[in-house]
Amino acid sequence: MKKFGALLVSLIVFLCLFSSASAADNCQNYKSGSKVWWDGIELKPGQIGRLTIKKDTPLFKLNGEKRTLSRTLKAGEFYRIYAFKPGLLSVGGGYFVERDSRVTYQTPSKTKLEQVKQIQVCTIANKSRATFTLKDSKGISYKVYAVGSNEQKAYGSFSSSATWNSVWAGISEGDVLYKGNYKLYLQKQNSPVIADTGIQIKDYVYNASRKMMYQVPTYYIGQPDLLAIANTESSNFESADLYYVHNGQLFRVMRSGWAAIGYTTRPSTVDKLTYQTKDYNNADGVWTLNTWTLNPDNAEITLIDSQDY
């Protein structure tokens, strides 16, 4: 019986390791720009089927129960289908056709749909400027991807031609910098689905050398990890927006209506749902130890104690 138990434990460990490795290696099977083809047509993310027009049929905009005619789809045309309602098929953008004898509706295989999802995940993962693994309060792991658009790369410089990459308190000479609009995406561990959280940080200068996006790990059961996206305020002060995963969604922490907390030394976990930061006043040489508590149910962080020393 003991041998069987040991064998079972070994098998479970092996399967977990194999599953994790396979999930991590999935993107190696897809090159940048990979596409999935279905009967000669590219299968797009979100697409669930294909519509073939057999006889001319009206295309209409649906607003509640009201239909507004848009145009007539001609026999022989093909359209991608992204959703459906009873008796209706959506070609996207709120436009529908009736599902009747004038059209033929086909669906791709589950394998092809999964391939499209995997390519979408890999595309976002490969474009991610910074990627973090956050655990929620239940210990479930999620990947958070920070994907930039209109991104520029530069190095901290004293040059008179430097603009946003000029050396100052927040940038040292030679620092690796990126500037762009960064969207945050969320993916549950081992899930083929990656979600746009709707959170975007616009015109953000990310100092990669100083790791201005960073993680605040937890060591307590029932407490989520934090993601911090920081900005330099002065030679001895930073501010940061904090994020965490709760019930499968990414939330931004609020503090009495303000999103960011300020500090000289970055937050550290000192107890369950409790964090500490330090502020330094260089005018009088005084340090302040601040203690914060997080309520994950309402995304509020509260300052509960401050002590000068």
Do the Cβ atoms of 267 and 279 come closer than 8 Å? no
Cα–Cα separations (whole angstroms), residue 245 to 77, 142, 199, 276, 297:
44, 8, 13, 20, 11
pLDDT of 1 reads 53
Q: What six digits make up the tokens of 214?
A: 């960073």
Q: What six digits make up the tokens of 98?
A: 């009736």
Cα 145 to Cα 90: distance, rounded to the nearest angstrom: 30
Q: What six digits make up the tokens of 110?
A: 């589950």
Q: Is the dihedral of CA 166, 172, 176, 177 positive or negative?
A: negative
pLDDT of 26 reads 63
Give long-range contacts, CB 8 A cutoff, 24+ apart: 189-196: 189/23, 189/140, 189/141, 189/142, 189/143, 190/19, 190/20, 190/23, 192/114, 192/117, 192/118, 192/121, 193/117, 193/121, 194/117, 194/120, 194/121, 194/124, 194/145
Give the type of residue at 168: W
Cα 8 to Cα 11: distance, rounded to the nearest angstrom: 5
Residue that has been written with the tokens 């976002």 in this structure: 124
pLDDT of 237 reads 96
pLDDT of 69 reads 96
Reported as a single tens digit per residue, the pLDDT across 88-142 is 999 998 999 999 999 999 999 999 998 888 888 888 989 999 999 999 999 999 9
Do the Cβ atoms of 59 and 51 come closer than 8 Å? no
b/e per residue 175-211 (b: at least 16 CB within 10 A)? bebbbbebbbbbbbeeebebeebebebeebbbbeebe
Q: What six digits make up the tokens of 45?
A: 């993310």
Cα 67 to Cα 50: distance, rounded to the nearest angstrom: 22
Q: Give rounded-to-5 percent helix, strand, coil for the chain.
A: 15, 55, 30
Backbone phi, psi, residue 119, to 5°: -65, -40
Q: Mark the ranges of the chain whose per-residue pLDDT is less than 50.
A: 2, 4-25
